[in-house]
């Protein structure tokens, strides 16, 4: 599996810094990030093993627990201990999700995780070749791998699928499985710091600054904006229009007086505008 030049890979330090920013200035909680990660993993698995076609049993190996369920029903059974698991997982599980260690891992896996890793490695032993074995899906970092150098001893887990969260870490270059999904935050959407004391008192002047930044970035049609309106029936509608001017009296765009947006504005003068500028990684919402 060749690594496209368009993909950026993170070092262990860079991954930690992004996490610090997400949970610091951007205000994400651990629960929120875990929920996003879970959604990314579930979506990735469903891409390969559609619940309607694959009523698979699966096992999830995590740093604090092991649990099993069924992809078709998305149900979870009580947590399992190591003693509850058989020696040959291929008999019990179609899919095994490896989520024991993330990008902060270093050193040698400690008990009981070292034994779990050995069991995952054993699925690829030569005596498993002639029979069906469980599919291994690793989350972010195949457990036991070096975050940057990968499985440099060649004796670690060999996942079939890798789901990289935020962005792939350097070890992903050594991944040779069938599917590599980029989950959670595909791009780094962290914006430059914006302090309250930097804001113009006049909101129109502040908009001019932001709009000039969008123009300087060379974006295609930075004056494109989403206009959302609500008619007397209470149903919202949105469409893209082009900003034609802005002054102290407001924002100007052109429209057909017979259009739906014109009709809804005549019924309800309250509306919202949304500008999104990809280059500067910013957006502006105006309500009136």
Is pTM beyond 0.75? Reply is no
Helix or strand (DSSP H, E) at 97: strand 95-99
d(CA 81, CA 83): 5
Rounded CA-CA distance 246/88 in Å is 69
Question: What confidence category does residue 54 fall into, taking pLDDT thresholds of 50, 70 and 90?
Answer: low
Given this model, what pLDDT does residue 80 score?
57
**Residue 78 main-chain phi, psi, to 5 deg:** -55, 155
Domain boundaries, the chain: 12-183, 196-287
| CB atoms closer than 10 angstroms to residue 131 | 9
Give the tens place of pLDDT for each residue, 221-277: 999 999 999 999 999 999 999 999 998 888 999 989 999 999 999 999 999 999 999
- Confidence (pLDDT) at 67: 39
What's the CATH class of domain 196-287? mainly beta
Mean pLDDT of 158-182: 89
Mean pLDDT of 37-57: 73
- Quick one: pLDDT at residue 162? 92
What pLDDT, on a 0 to 100 scale, did the predictor assign at position 73? 31
Q: What is the pLDDT of residues 115-129, one digit of tens each?
A: 888 888 888 764 544
pLDDT at 288 over 80: yes
Q: Which CATH number fits domain 12-183: 2.160.10.10, 3.20.20.80, 3.40.50.10260, 1.10.540.10?
A: 3.40.50.10260
């Amino acid at each position: 599996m060749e690594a496209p030049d368009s993909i950026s890979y993170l070092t262990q330090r860079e991954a930690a810094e992004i996490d610090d920013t997400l949970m610091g200035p951007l205000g994400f909680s651990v629960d929120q990030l875990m929920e996003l990660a879970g959604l990314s993993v579930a979506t990735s698995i469903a891409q390969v093993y559609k619940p309607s076609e694959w009523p698979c049993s699966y096992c999830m190996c995590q740093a604090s627990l092991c649990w099993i369920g069924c992809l078709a029903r998305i149900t979870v059974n009580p947590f399992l201990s190591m003693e509850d698991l058989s020696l040959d997982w291929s008999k019990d599980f179609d899919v095994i999700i490896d989520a024991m260690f993330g990008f902060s891992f270093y050193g040698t896996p400690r008990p009981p995780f070292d034994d779990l890793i050995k069991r995952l490695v054993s699925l690829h032993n030569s005596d498993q070749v002639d029979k069906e074995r469980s599919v291994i899906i690793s989350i972010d970092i195949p457990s036991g791998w070096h975050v940057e150098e990968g499985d440099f001893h060649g004796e670690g887990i060999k996942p079939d699928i890798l789901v990289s969260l935020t962005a792939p870490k350097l070890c992903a270059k050594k991944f040779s499985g069938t599917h590599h999904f980029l989950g959670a935050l595909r791009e780094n959407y962290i914006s430059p710091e914006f302090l309250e004391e930097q804001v113009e008192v006049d909101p129109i002047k502040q908009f001019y600054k932001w709009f000039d930044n969008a123009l300087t970035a060379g974006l295609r049609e930075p004056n494109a904006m989403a206009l959302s309106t609500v008619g007397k029936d209470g149903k919202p509608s949105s469409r893209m229009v082009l900003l034609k001017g802005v002054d102290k009296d407001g924002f100007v765009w052109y429209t057909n007086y017979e259009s739906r947006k014109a009709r809804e504005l005549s019924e309800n003068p309250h509306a919202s505008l949304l500008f999104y500028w990809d280059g500067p990684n910013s957006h502006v919402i105006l309500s009136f």
